[in-house]
Chain A
Amino acid sequence: MARGRQTLPMPDIRRTAGQWLEEHGDYLYRFAMLRVRDAEVALDLVQETLLAAWQGRESFQGSSSLRTWLVGILKHKITDHIRREIRERDLEEAVGNDPNSMFFKADGSWHESLHAWKDNPESLCRNQQFQHILDDCIGRLSDKQQQVFVLREMAGEDTEAICKICGITPTHAHVLLHRARLALRKCLDTNWFGRRGTRS
């Protein structure tokens, strides 16, 4: 331990950040992954979080738990990331122009008859093949629908949080979720439920 007067910050950050990673890394990574669904991006966000935490470590009051503090920072990073995505990829989707009008006839009734899905959630959630098709169907949603749907159904956020993250109104969020569900049901029906002869 003869570090002498050369007290570099490096061993410290390795030790401190290493400890944070040890205790909270999985939690932070999972939190990010459920919201951005991209391992690379999630890792970057965790890194940014630890960096910001290290730089602002003096502002940590200890009044909240360390994890709460870290998650608070991560939430900001995720929000920044998602807002940037929305801006850069121009994910605006006007409420007025309804991409799902194709599901209904002019009189507002369904275009096709819908059948009930028979598979139960307990078996579906363990079925890799289904999850693969589900991912694929989610990937086919419009970018903005995908964003909101992932936050809602994959990350389990509520309307208030979604609006905060995406900078949209509750009504807009609900419209996007509704459209995402219409499109997903159709996609899953075509690629999973219909294909397997469950159509009655």
Chain B
Amino acid sequence: MKHACREVSRLASDALERELSLWEKLRLHVHLLLCINCRNYRVSLHRLHETLARIRAAQSRELKLTEEQREKLLAELEQRLGG
């Protein structure tokens, strides 16, 4: 199959974004059976995807405005409206 890995790497990425068509799924999974590089690539994509989801969850808990940022924001708002 010509251009197989190139296309399959795209399908592996798209699978994280949309429902693949039946034909695409078939193409992806048949190729994965035969190709260790693409299998490893897919595992890497999924690890990366999951790691980023965990980082996002952590940031959603931890990211907060500091008191200074809050004060600065309020002061600037007043200035812009009161000016």
Residue in A29, A34, A178 whose beta carbon sits within 8 Å of that of B56 in the complex: A34
B55 at the interface (CB under 8 A from A): yes
Dominant SS among interface residues on chain A? helix
A109-165 contacts to B, CB under 8 A, are 109-110, 113-117, 119-122, 124-126, 131, 152-156, 158-159
- Interface residue tally for chain B (C-beta within 8 Å): 49
Stretch touching chain B among A61-69, A73-81, A85-93, A180-188: A180-188
Q: Are A108's CB and B78's CB within 8 A?
A: no
Could you jot down 5 A-B contacts, CB within 8 Å?
A33-B59, A109-B6, A124-B47, A125-B58, A181-B13
Residues of A within 8 A of B (CB): 8-10, 13-14, 17-18, 21, 25-26, 29-30, 33-34, 43, 46-47, 50-51, 54, 103-104, 107-110, 113-117, 119-122, 124-126, 131, 152-156, 158-159, 170, 173-174, 177-178, 181-182, 184-185, 188-189
